[in-house]
Amino acid sequence: MRNSRPSPASVLVADGDHDEAIKREHTEYIAATIPRAGLLILPNVSHFAFLQDPELFNYAILHFLGDR
């Protein structure tokens, strides 16, 4: 990600706290290297948070988007 350009868009890096596909340290690294990015770790879900807890996932995304 060293050569990535700053994004004018808002970015939220989201992951589940039981993700079996992506290491937490990698998720945190991605969020840390994108200027002004947010980091969201959803509890009690894996890589498929949107399927495992759609209510929580949708709430979090809508909150990030400003309830649009």
For the chain, the domains span 12-64
Task: State pLDDT tens for residues 25-63.
Answer: 999 999 999 999 999 999 999 999 999 999 999 999 999
Please give the Cα distance from 4 to 2 (Å, whole number): 6
Single out the residue of 1, 2, 4, 31 nearest to residue 15, CA to CA: 31
The number of C-alpha atoms within 13 Å of 22 and in the hemisphere containing its C-beta is 18
Q: Is the pLDDT of residue 18 over 70?
A: yes
Place of tokens 């060293």: 2
pTM: 0.80
Element (H, E) at 38: strand 38-42
